[in-house]
Amino acid sequence: MTALTVRLPNSVHQKVKELALRDEISVNQFIAAAVSEKMASVMTLDYLKSEAAQGNRSDCHRFMNAIPNAPVAKGDELPNI
């Protein structure tokens, strides 16, 4: 495991301590979980962008055109806004 020094504004540090206490975990565990969540978010966006870059508009149209023209199923209606 690696030790890391992070400088936080006092207000952020105080809130992290409060939230960690509320979750009954250490500040280190709270920060490790927060960093892991952010990493997962960034990696997911990277993956989705990579997948989207491989997309093909004509394939999309071909699949969309294969959908039968049928009435909307009960419960699938769009809300009236």
pLDDT digits (tens, 9 = 90+) for 28-79: 999 999 999 999 999 999 999 999 999 999 999 999 999 999 999 999 999 8
Q: Which two tokens stand for residue 67?
A: 């959908």
Q: Give domain status of residue 58, yes or no.
A: yes
List Cα–Cα distances, 77 to 11, 63, 66, 67, 81, in angstroms. 46, 21, 20, 17, 12
Q: What is the structure's pLDDT at 4?
A: 92
Q: Give domain status of residue 29, yes or no.
A: yes
Is pTM beyond 0.85 here?
Answer: no
How many domains does the chain contain in total? 1
pLDDT digits (tens, 9 = 90+) for 14-26: 999 999 999 999 9
Residue spans of alpha helices (H) in 23-56: 27-53
Contact assessment for residue 24 and residue 13, using Cβ atoms and an 8 Å cutoff: no
